[in-house]
Structure 1
């Protein structure tokens, strides 16, 4: 058995690599405390679980178009607005920005503040638009 392992070390290394890559998503979710959803999964959460979309983009970006029914709290104001978001703690919350980077920071902050079901919209509003989903303007 040891001879086989010694002769085929590269197969073992490849197996370890594959296992690592498969578990990477599950590990990162556990470490970050929130999940990621694509636009289709987000619409299912909105329609079936009454999820709230939290748009953390700047006002100018918000004015260009946003997900219908979304709440607007720019990332820089999230800390000061946390008290007004308290009533959402038990509902699913989908954080969203332009591409998913700022909203990932918002998702982490909400999770740290005790929100139970946090999801980041993978690809942000760009992915939402690419999926052909509706936007609204104020």
Structure 2
């Protein structure tokens, strides 16, 4: 009787297993950083002097713009330039990509480089824009990376 039940309801069992995998997928692909929302990232930038690290390639940056005061390091160069991102390894870093999907891998690289507080902006630049936060257009692909500074990020209005 149980074999018959399994055969007759195999699609329900497959659906249940698939749903379970979809629920744990974000946990499995999280990478090395704790995910933070745009409001949490804004607080960290203002109160803890966190550094936003933009890992997107020039094509994405030219099309979408950059977060003011973010440090730009393409993901392919991150391992070599990790030591130049902040004054100390205890400085919080918030990794940003376009959607939040590739930032987890970059956060793992930064943790391996010795940074202790590494975070991933959940939803990436898309979430930043949706929250009404400032984005600066880049003039041309060869522009120098935007340097981190002490200025405060103000919450945007939607």
TM-score (norm 2): 0.64
If each structure's helix is expressed as a fraction of its own residues, which one has the higher value?
A: 1
Paired position in structure 2 for 1:92: 92
Report the Cα distance in structure 2 between the residues aligned to 1:101 and 1:88, rounded to whole angstroms: 26
The RMSD of aligned alpha carbons is 2.3
Report the Cα distance in structure 1 between the residues aligned to 2:85 and 2:70, rounded to whole angstroms: 13
Structure 1 position 33, deviation (Å): 4.8
Runs of 4+ in 1 over 4 A off after TM superposition: none
TM-score (norm 1): 0.73
Report the Cα distance in structure 2 between the residues aligned to 1:103 and 1:87, rounded to whole angstroms: 21
Paired position in structure 1 for 2:60: 61
Q: Say if 2:79 is the partner of 1:79.
A: yes
Q: Can you give the 5+ residue segments of structure 1 that lack an aligned partner in the other structure? A: 1-20
Equivalent residue runs for 1:1-138 within 5 Å: 32-63=31-62, 64-85=64-85, 87-138=87-138
Distance 1:36 1:79, change over 3 A: same
Q: Secondary structure at the match of 1:100?
A: coil
Paired position in structure 1 for 2:151: none
Distance 1:103 1:33, change over 3 A: closer
CA contact (8 A) 1:62 1:72 kept: no
